[in-house]
Structure 1
Amino acid sequence: METTAFQKTYTKIEQITKATCSVRAEGVGYEEMASVNGRLAQVVKIQGDLITLQIFSGTEGIPTNAEVVFLGHAPKLKVGDELSGRFFDAYGHAIDGGPEVDGKEVEIGGPSVNPVRRKQPSELIATGIAGIDLNNTLVTGQKIPFFADPDQPFNEVVAMVALRAKADKIILGGMGLTNDDYLFFKNVFENAGALDRITSFVNTTENPPVERLLVPDMALTAAEYFAVEQNQNVLVLLTDMTLYADALSIVSNRMDQIPSKDSMPGSLYSDLARLYEKAVQFPSGGSITIIAVTTLSGGDITHAIPDNTGYITEGQLFLRRDSDIGKVVIDPFRSLSRLKQLVIGTKTREDHPQVMNASIRLYADAANAKTKLENGFDLTDYDERTIEFAKQYSEKLLAIDINIDIDEMINTAWELLNRHFSVSEIGIKAELVEKYGKRNGN
């Protein structure tokens, strides 16, 4: 063994699996970076002096006498205003042909913010998507997942949110993106002229899967720089957390750890919580809001990944294809923003909560009417009106391609309510009907 100023070098590997190798060493820290035969690796387990390293590109071809050099630090990202408008890989290296960022080096994966330094979220974060802003309003500092089937256009939705969201900075963390997905994000951002406020960290299917484990930490470290140093409202978009969890599973299985539910590591809850808990509203005004895609296998909400995610986050946004209108919508029954009460009716118009509740109640009546129809029962006039209302409500408000501001969403809802129902059927307070819901010519 020879030691340089900050680096310890070893040449006797004791054990090699498909993704990891073990070596006896001292004075090494958890999550410390290392080079194994020139390949980047990271410390994932320490048992006495036996150190296990995960090798990002795999262990194929590495001999037992390979040189292991410990670098003396966890993965780092250079932060600064130059991050804006750029695309980076999982290690924080530029992949867009531009220069490397010349900024302050910060170790990624640090602790989340102390609760006493947090403020209760109270600022609206508008996405321009009516199915979110009207029924499942988001607030700065919130953490919420998109649950979607793999064949749904969730990356298009993520790109839409990135372009429309009223945030100072958008940080995209792409895990296991196809090359087409990567180019899609790049082209959409460039063509919209929005690159200057978006920073992207991308791992594609051509990169080693284990590298995905670095992407969320890179994205959140960049977010912390803008939120803390610049007092900006930052929206972090992560896609796809299922592929992140699969990478965790690859490493733990190859370390011969006993898997938990659905072949996931026993640490899945804490691995996910460590990331999601970075969502925060600072008293100084900066904030980090996290929206993360979790793809479902056959719509299975009980799988370990969405199941654990649901415990950690403050609601969920559920994508589904509406067969009546042939579009993908934000499902009003399975979606929920647990923090919307903090802003609706105060940061939005006073009639927002009642319009939202009335619309969803009548939408639910339409679902019951459809069940009656499917079971061969006759429909009442009211049933038929609810079904027509629900179809138009889906088309004009729930569909993900609707891009309008919140006041216009509320006005559209009033228009549909007035078209199909009497004042008594709508059931909204008389003074709000008088002020906002007056019928044309009445």
Structure 2
Amino acid sequence: MNQINNLVRHTRLLEIVGDLIRVRALGVAFGDLAMIENIDGDQSLAKVVNLDRDIVSLQVFAGGKGLSTDAKVIFLGRALDVVYSDNILGRIFRGSGEAIDGGPELPTDPRIPVGGPTVNPVMRVMPSRMIETKVPMIDLFNCLVESQKIPIFSVAGEPFNQLLARIGFQANADVVVFGGMGLIFDDYHFFRTAFENHGVFHRTVMFVNQASDPLVERMLVPDMALAVAEKMAVEGKKRVLVLLTDMTAYADAMKELGVAQELIPAVRGYMGDLYTQLASRYEKACDFKGAGSVTILSVTTMPGDDVTHPVPDNTGYITEGQFYLHNGFIDPFGSLSRLKQHVVGKATREDHSQIMNAMIRFYSGAVEAQKKQAMAFELSPFDEKLLKFGRLFKERFMDIDVSLPVIEALDLCWLTLSECFDPKELLMKQNLIDKYFPKSAHSEAEEGETVAQVA
């Protein structure tokens, strides 16, 4: 407090526009923090968001409601930082960095700056390790690879938060860093209880901005989460999984701030630097040479299920694929992991690539058979097999509540294929069929073929 008392106080706010205030000051840097003292003694943090000669624009964390033009602005001379130590594991913080879980204060713990440049490419290692999530549609068909940045594309009302939480408590990561933006209380409570009930809360750090919290804190959540994740990966050599939801809410907060600053918007009202702002966060994903890794899995909701919306459209150029969540299922056709070739058959089993291709091929045939059935076309015996396979595939693999280790999921694939098709119909390598195709089903198929030949 003595340090604050020694700082220069600027009085007479020039303007108050929503949560944005303007004051005349010199020697201030972009991104610096300030303390706002209202005439009634209330204090609130603010962040410098624009500089125009000696006119400084600040976003007030607590909002501009009730502020007087006679309020005092005290520039702290530093950018935002966040507490970092082993003590933050199992803790929950708001977008300002303040703990909100009722736990002990951390006044003596060291703090690290928020933001900063992405990692030097020289320090990056080629991705080669898989993060097993026990979600078959991810582990089997679009593997999540360490240091990958990948979004879940969905629409409002889909269970994307349930999927994100499931991945969080099932993934084989050392630390989970969660960043929630614009969450309603029910969603915040769901994530907290999910991590607690599944025994991973002790290795989880949560940064939460609820819908009722200040808008500027929503924009700080990803930076805080990624700063902590990067520190844990570099110094702690941890495999860190960062979960962010919802990046569209983050982009909307940017748009609202831009409108308040009277900036010229670009497509659909979003600012022209949307791509840059998203990329500077996503590019924090990295497999560090001689240290740990940061993997980013985010949620991007698509208003009106429109993939050409500026947020998912820009995200698709930055990230290495996407998971499409439609009608409660991960869509096998719209989903893509561009890094899966680094681990399929290498970090997994030898039959993974063949199984992955065969299962999607047969499911595609099942979808076509369903269309023929819906239009009352005559179905062939093979179409009937495809329809049976399609039902089993949805039930056993596409449901996001299904939880299976990758090896068990591969075995279940072979079992499903044996229940629907003969070995000769699989069009797979014979050595893999001989090794993995269930022997009982194989014997029955051969016996049936022999009987047919004798007849």
TM over 0.5: yes
**Residues 418 and 439 in structure 1, CA contact (< 8 A), matched pair in contact too:** no
The CA distance in 1 between the partners of 2:150 and 2:225, in whole Å, is 16
Select 2:90's aligned residue among 85, 88, 92.
85
Structure-2 residue corresponding to 1:140: 146
Kept after mapping to 1: 8 A contact 2:216/2:253 = yes
How much has 1:4 moved relative to structure 2?
A: 6.6
Note the 1:25-174 alignment, pairs <5 A.
25-37=25-37, 38-101=43-106, 102-174=108-180
- The letter of the residue matching 2:24 is R
Cα offsets for 1:118-147 (capped at 9, x unmatched): 111111101111111111101110000011
Instruction: Give the paired residue count.
Output: 434
Counterpart amino acid of residue 345 in structure 2: G
Asked if 1 retains the 8 angstrom alpha-carbon contact of 2:235 and 2:291, the reply is no
Distance 1:152 1:232 in 2: 32
Match for residue 417 of structure 1? 417
Moved more, 55-64 or 169-178: 55-64
CA distance 1:167–1:61, shift in 2 (3 Å): same
> How much has 1:48 moved relative to structure 2?
2.1
Q: Which one of the candidate residues 248, 259, 269 is aligned to 1:253?
A: 259
Residues 1:302 and 2:305 aligned together: no
Letter in 2 for 1:50: I
**Are 2:19 and 1:19 equivalent residues in the alignment?**
yes
TM-score, length-normalised on structure 1?
0.95
1:320: which partner in 2? 326
The answer to whether the 8 Å contact 1:6/1:72 transfers is no
Tell me if structure 1 keeps the 8 A contact 2:134–2:403: yes
Partner of 1:177: 183
Deviations 1:261-290 (A, max 9, x none): 122111111111111000000111400000
Moved over 4 A (4+): 3-6
Length-normalised TM-score, structure 2: 0.92
Say whether the 8 Å CA contact 1:80–1:225 is kept in structure 2. Answer: no
Which residue of the partner structure matches residue 451 of structure 2?
A: none
For residue 350 of structure 1, report the CA deviation from its aligned partner.
0.7
Give distance in 2, aligned partners of 1:428 and 1:154.
34
In 1, Cα distance between the equivalents of 2:79 and 2:15?
Answer: 23
CA distance in 2, matches of 1:112, 1:100: 30
What secondary structure sits across from 2:178 in the alignment? strand
Residues 141 and 289, structure 1, Cα contact 8 Å, conserved in 2:
yes
Match of 1:325 in 2: none
Higher mean C-alpha displacement, 29-38 vs 232-241: 29-38
Distance in 2 between residues matched to 1:233 and 1:330, nearest whole Å = 25
Question: How far apart in 2 are the matches of 1:25 and 1:348?
Answer: 59
User: Does 2:217 align with 1:230?
Assistant: no
1:311 aligns with 2:317: yes
Q: Is the 8 A contact 1:202 1:215 kept in 2?
A: yes
Which amino acid in structure 1 is aligned with residue 76 of structure 2? L
Amino acid at match of 2:360: I
Query: Displacement of 1:36 after TM fit?
Result: 2.5
More deviation in 247-256 or 377-386? 377-386
Matches of 2:412 and 2:8 in 1, distance apart? 66
The residue number in structure 2 matching 1:379 is 379
Alignment identity in percent?
A: 45
Distance in 2 between the 1:54 and 1:5 partners? Answer: 22
Contiguous gaps of at least 5 residues in structure 1: 322-327
1:188 aligns with 2:190: no
Residues 8 and 71 of structure 1 are in contact (CA less than 8 Å); yes or no, is this contact kept in structure 2? no
Q: Provide the C-alpha distance between the structure 2 equivalents of 1:64 and 1:239, rounded to a whole number of angstroms.
A: 36
**1:188 CA drift (Å):** 1.9
Partner of 1:264: 270
Q: 1:55 to 1:340 in 2, by over 3 A?
A: same
1:285-339 CA-to-partner distances (Å, cap 9, x unmatched) read: 4000000011122211111111111111000011112xxxxxx221100111110
For residues 416 and 330 of structure 1, the distance between their equivalents in structure 2, rounded to whole angstroms, comes to 19
Answer yes or no: is the 8 Å Cα contact 1:6–1:71 preserved in 2: no
Q: Deviations over 1:15-38 (max 9, x none)?
A: 321131222222211111112232
Task: Encode CA deviations 1:37-64: one digit per residue, 9 max, x unaligned.
Answer: 3222111112222221112232223222
**Mapped contact 1:86–1:200 kept (Cα < 8 A):** yes
Quote the offset at 1:5 in angstroms: 8.4
Q: In the alignment, what sits opposite 2:207?
A: 201
Distance 2:8 2:144 in 1: 48
Residues 115 and 8 of structure 1, relative CA distance in 2, 3 Å threshold: farther
Deviation at 1:88, TM superposition (A): 1.0
5+ residue gaps, structure 2, are 38-42, 444-455
Aligned to 1:324: none
Q: Which amino acid aligns with 2:436?
A: Y
In structure 2, the CA distance between the partners of 1:192 and 1:438, relative to structure 1 (3 Å rule), is closer
Bigger shift: 8-17 or 92-101? 8-17
Residues 415, 438 of structure 2: 8 Å contact kept: no
Q: What is the aligned partner in structure 1 of residue 396 from structure 2? A: 396
Q: CA deviation at 1:82?
A: 0.6
CA drift at 1:438: 4.3
Report the residue type matching 2:285 in the other structure. A
The 1-side partners of 2:370 and 2:304 are apart by: 24
Q: Distance in 2 between matches of 1:306 and 1:204?
A: 22
